[in-house]
Structure 1
Amino acid sequence: MKRTHPIRAGRLPALFAACLWLAMPVPAQAAPARVVSINVCTDQLAMLIAGEGQLHAVSALARDPNSSTMTTQAQAYAVNHALAEEIFLMKPDLVLAGTFSSRATVGLLRTLGITVEEFAPARSFDDVRENILRVGALLDRQGRAAALVAELDAGLAALAAEPPSGRKIALYDANSYTTGKGTLANEIFHAAGLVNVAEEMGITGSGRVPLEMLIVARPDMVATSFRDYGAPALAQENFVHPAFAALEAQSQPVAVPVPNMICGAPFTLEAAFVLQRAAAQGGERP
């Protein structure tokens, strides 16, 4: 018969202390009081979620109408250019960054002992929910974050309440770039009840589509963004090609609100509503 060995008396105090330590409540970490964001997407999440006086600075792109939907709100905050020196002098207790933000800046700030939290770009509405809730937890603003998630879900439900049109859409940008599977734009198209031509072509992420392939795909809708740089640009020659002009004449051109498609938040749904309304008004192909 196997003998069991009693716990040695000398170990009892240590075990008792360990149990007491495990049972003790963990003190709540104080909410950050001086937050700096260096990425346009974390800029907007922070502006939506932060409490009064909690957010100190946002990136310069937060004031760029081609990149941000919250340019007016961004005027209330200091601006940074993702430089380690300027951010260090702001004395933040939390920095919000994107995974594609300046690696040198992020690394140096961490070396200097500053807490930096990085966020990957949202590629789905699940990612959007996760990022909202994570910012809410970091800023100790869970209630506000939950309200934004509820707003997002309500918008998605409203979009889903309309029968999908099934119309084929092609996003066609400068240098003939488009976005396919695994992108927030693709999620927006699906939410609007549309079929993404790029996804049908097997494109994942961003990629270039020759004009000939776009014409063969015969999209019902062609969505474009920046078509005028204010000066001649080789990047936009695809928009002035006669074949593209003919394609637009045979389909339904639609201008998408690009800033709403760059970052994930409840405002992202505005792009889906714009596209859904355009599809409903599009009628039959000529």
Structure 2
Amino acid sequence: MAVVSALAGSALAGAPLPPAHRAAAPKRIVSLNLCADQYLLALADRSQIAGLTRNATSTEMSAAAAQARGLPILRGSAEEVLAIDPDLIVGVPARRSGMMAALSREHYAMVDLKPASTYADIVAQIRAVAGAIGHPRRGEALIARMDRALATLPRPHRAGVAAYYQRRGYLTGTGTLIDELMVRVGLANLAGKLDKPALSQLTLEELMVAQPDYLIVESASDRVVDQGTEMLHHPLLRNIRRLHIPQAWTVCGGPAYVDAARSLARQIADAGACAPAPGGRVNIRCPAAP
């Protein structure tokens, strides 16, 4: 079992791994959170992956669910990890102190991935994981592809104000990856205008008073499945144009950030093309606002 006491901190900052750990790539890598799953699936050899989390194959939760099929899935116990005897653990679960206490006694090499709140965080984490698993060039190639894709996004001068509105009226605020994503495609975050924290609740009445130009909603909320999603289909919201993105693209930082940015930019461009012209004329090929 490798002992790399400074691995998590140095790798996360993008620093190169110590020489002793550059030569031999780890052969048994275990992921302990969903975000780590997606980095490993993008960067590691399949033969290196010894365990992913239970949500790795969920299409609603993971943007890399298809790639995870056929790989070992963990139930979430320390005993499973100890049985694998990994030479690298990625994605330390901060809230599961019992598991970490059991694993830390074995002095496993670990890379801790904190929640990404900016694209720069994602880039740093890609470099951290790629370096730790022995594939730094893959990491740089992935970053280069993501940079190129983001550079081609249309940049509307003022796309409008949007609310990332979720089930039960939760609103995503500033200082989050969603907020940065909105700014990237030219949107102003309603939560910032209302001086809301990173996560807050907003009633339908408050939302209607604020009158955002767009609601960004998760694709899973397109139909009513419970009381939490029912409010997103309230008649009061019918005249606010919606932008849809899968939850799997935003639950974690990672390569899916590019997919989310592309989708939002395209939907905003389509909405602009369908805006009523002077005199109230609307392109007949455009769908009616939801």
Identity of aligned residues (%): 28
Tell me the equivalent position of 2:269: 280
Whether the aligned pair in 1 keeps the contact of 2:150 and 2:261 (CA below 8 Å) is: no
Q: CA RMSD in A?
A: 2.2
Shift of 1:259: 0.8
Shift of 1:98: 4.2
Tell me the equivalent position of 1:266: 255
Tell me the equivalent position of 2:103: 109
Secondary structure (helix, strand or coil) at the match of 1:168 reads strand
Higher fraction of helix: 1
Whether the aligned pair in 1 keeps the contact of 2:216 and 2:245 (CA below 8 Å) is: yes
TM score, norm. by length of structure 2: 0.81
Shift of 1:76: 2.8
Tell me the equivalent position of 1:11: none
Shift of 1:228: 6.8
Which one-letter code corresponds to 2:80 in the other structure?
A: E
Is 1:238 the counterpart of 2:231? The answer is yes
Whether the aligned pair in 2 keeps the contact of 1:37 and 1:97 (CA below 8 Å) is: yes
Q: Which runs of 4+ in 1 moved over 6 A?
A: none
Which one-letter code corresponds to 1:145 in the other structure?
A: G
Q: 2:167 aligns with which of 174, 180, 198?
A: 174
Unaligned runs of 5+ in 2: 1-17, 277-288
Is 1:65 the counterpart of 2:59? The answer is yes
TM score, norm. by length of structure 1: 0.82
Deviates more, 1:28-37 or 1:145-154: 28-37
CA distance in 2, matches of 1:70, 1:28: 28
Is 1:56 the counterpart of 2:54? The answer is no
Tell me the equivalent position of 1:131: 125
Tell me the equivalent position of 1:118: 112
Q: 1:116 to 1:26 in 2, by over 3 A?
A: closer
Which one-letter code corresponds to 1:246 in the other structure?
A: L
CA distance in 1, matches of 2:252, 2:19: 35
Tell me the equivalent position of 1:254: 243
Tell me the equivalent position of 1:200: 193
Whether the aligned pair in 1 keeps the contact of 2:32 and 2:53 (CA below 8 Å) is: yes
Higher relative contact order (CA 8 A, sep 6+): 2
The count of aligned residue pairs is: 256
Deviates more, 1:92-101 or 1:28-37: 92-101
Secondary structure (helix, strand or coil) at the match of 1:263 reads coil
CA distance in 2, matches of 1:227, 1:52: 33
CA distance in 2, matches of 1:108, 1:123: 29
Whether the aligned pair in 1 keeps the contact of 2:31 and 2:91 (CA below 8 Å) is: yes
Tell me the equivalent position of 1:218: 211
Shift of 1:137: 1.3
Which one-letter code corresponds to 1:275 in the other structure?
A: L
CA distance in 1, matches of 2:211, 2:19: 60
Q: 2:27 aligns with which of 17, 24, 33?
A: 33
Which one-letter code corresponds to 1:45 in the other structure?
A: Y
Unaligned runs of 5+ in 1: 1-24
Tell me the equivalent position of 1:185: 178
Q: 1:26 to 1:219 in 2, by over 3 A?
A: closer
Q: 1:70 to 1:101 in 2, by over 3 A?
A: farther
